[in-house]
Amino acid sequence: MDTDDLRYSCQIALPGFSEAIQQLLQQAKVLIVGAGGLGCPAAQYLTSTGVGTIGIADFDVVSVSNLHRQVLYTPEDIGKEKTTLACQRLQKQNPGIKLVPHRDKITSANVLDIVNRYDIVVDGTDNFETRYLLNDACVLSGKPLVYGAIYQFEGQVAVWNVLNKDGQRSPNYRDLFPEVDATQIPNCTEGGVIPTLAGIIGSMQANEVIKYITKTGELLAGKVLIFDAQSMQSRIIKIGLITKTHIRHLAATITFSTISAEELKRRMQEDDTIELIDVRTIQERDAYDIGGTHIPLDELEEDMPYFTSTNTKVLYCSTGKRSAEAVKLILKRIPEADVLSLEGGLSLYTE
């Protein structure tokens, strides 16, 4: 028995599995977008299962707040590229497969080219713009997308855009959520997440990929599995057999500028036209702030005229995620607005 036979012997011995099924895994190409809490466990199990080619797409670097749930990384990795580290470590885990790093940010300009290289895509992202972009790109390119999301103690898993036997496609993310509500954005850093949930949901995503490639089991197509880590209970919500959306093109990625904490502090000393805008909740504002006008994210739409003035406005929140979404929302309504997002939010500003 050769090394591969020994390595995969336990899964080949499964009922309905075989060496021919293992060959399907070895011939498969899987793209994982996001090498974070979900992407790490998904990538580890797909690597150990013997998926032949795995692409890892992420442009971020490791931060200390990642370490409690992103189990591929160590404290020595802080500040280093996630994609490079993930590919290096996964390659050591299984030298017999191919790891492909994609270090550029996924945008409307490159997403179709990248997605078209793979058989199936795993969504391990943590922002809605990329989630919708991936969904739309997979619909346009005819690729299935394995969705996962976590927040606090609850996780969700689904498989979008699967080809049915009648030639029609199963529902996609827009069938469930037609468009993002930028004012209601859950965030693991700000709202919290139990780290084991990332491992559970990421592993479920890997399981759906394996089922799809090997044509075994019943996919979570047209359904959403909701898992509660506190009660250890799950339920499946059925959303239909076929999609009712009509996606014709990709929405252009909104580009925006950020400002570092160091640069902001310097410019505030030299330039009295800089205005700070706090987009956090009133409770967060009461606990601590660095000044400026308070416009909570959920009230931003009502205050759009405020952003037509010529002064540079720097929006801030706890980590930079909500302020980034706020800046994108403003630029969508007022393309000429002079708005920046504080990079890293108050967590870096107060260091």
- The answer to whether 188 is a known catalytic residue is yes
Q: Which of 42, 344, 314 is nearest to 202 (CA)?
A: 42
Extended beta strands in 43-151, E state: 53-57, 98-102, 120-123, 145-151
Which one of the listed residues 40, 87, 138, 188 is annotated catalytic?
A: 188
Maximum distance among all Cα pairs of the chain, rounded to whole angstroms: 74
- For residue 40 the two structure tokens come to 């790490």
Q: What is the dihedral of CA 207, 213, 218, 222, to 10 degrees?
A: 90
Element of type H or E holding 3: helix 3-7
* Helix or strand run (H / E) with residue 233: strand 233-238
Q: How far, in Å, CA of 287 to CA of 186, rounded?
A: 20
Measured CA to CA, the distance from residue 349 to residue 351 in angstroms comes to 6
Report residue 8 as tokens: 């995969």
Which of 150, 158, 153 has its CA nearest to residue 38?
A: 150
Question: Can you tell me whether residue 120 is helix, strand or coil?
Answer: strand
Question: How many residues does this entry show for the chain?
Answer: 351
Say how far apart CA 252 and CA 255 lie, in whole Å: 9
Clarify whether 317 is annotated catalytic. yes
Residues annotated as catalytic are 188, 317
